[in-house]
Amino acid sequence: MSVATAKPVSQDARVLSYAGALLETMDAALASHPGVFIMGQGVDDFKGIFGSTTGLAEKYGAARVFDVPLMEEGMTGIAIGAALVGDYPITTHIRADFSFLAMNQIINLAAKYRYMFGGLMSCPMLIRIVVGRSWGQGAQHSQSPQATFAHYPGLTVVMPSSSQAILDIYPAIINRHPGPVISIEHRLLYNLDFTVSPSDKRVPLTSYVAREGSDVTVVATSVMVLEALRAAQYVQDEAGISAEIVDLNSISHPDWDLVAASLAKTGRLVIAENRREQVGRRELAMEDGLTPDGGRQGHRDAIG
């Protein structure tokens, strides 16, 4: 499936799937940094985490791309130890629910080292977590824990919504980010094709405007950004409504000033994301924190 872009396409543009962008960034990280290694259930099999690690074990060897047993806590502990001595581990959880078994390591250790040692130690690592519904997932294989992880200081949580976002933010994370990053990848994005192109204006490690508009602000995350863009085009064509789409992107470090400026312009807010409404931290933050500082009091709705 192809996702059309509404922006002008440069001569250097190409079509790249979400899984393809992940594979390119994983390959580039392994090629550029001898201390990078990838581990997780299924990273070295022929499916390669939905195609995002396919062939890397053969290319770089079993010492750098390797499968692990059912040992999420142990795997994360190994990754933390490696990060502390200068390597860069990339761990994968093919189901988000599996990461719950590593919560102690992620929250009490990886997220806390920099603080507990006064900035003298850091724990740079990337934890890839797959969320979203698919065939036969059931109650224990389809949860969306992004709000849980974003709640804890010391963790950076991103939800890239396109191949371009992967190409822009993953190298920035691996090359420069000093702490643990959790990337929430929606399974429905993997087989989608996107138009990508090199640009001086890269997707930032925070929120950004995915589509400019004037009548309503839609704040979305992950796959819901695509749904919001599709809906925005529809209401533009059918009713002349101009929707501005803000991709929150980093739910642990969102750009609330950007959201507030958009809301001040449009006076209307729609929130589109996959989560339980009762525990969505972004909706509460928007409701409580945006309008007092000049954002107009307007209509607010949530879709999820």
Active site residues: 72, 141
Pairing of strands 14-17, 193-196: antiparallel
Helix (H) or strand (E) holding 37: strand 36-40
Among residues 285, 40, 22, the alpha carbon closest in space to that of 150 is found at 285
CA–CA dist 154, 14 (Å, integer): 36
Enter the DSSP assignment of 208. Answer: E
| Contacts for 150 with CB less than 8 Å, ≥ 6 apart | 157, 251, 252, 281
CA–CA dist 164, 40 (Å, integer): 24
CA–CA dist 245, 270 (Å, integer): 9
Q: Which residues pair with 158 in a beta bridge?
A: 183, 250
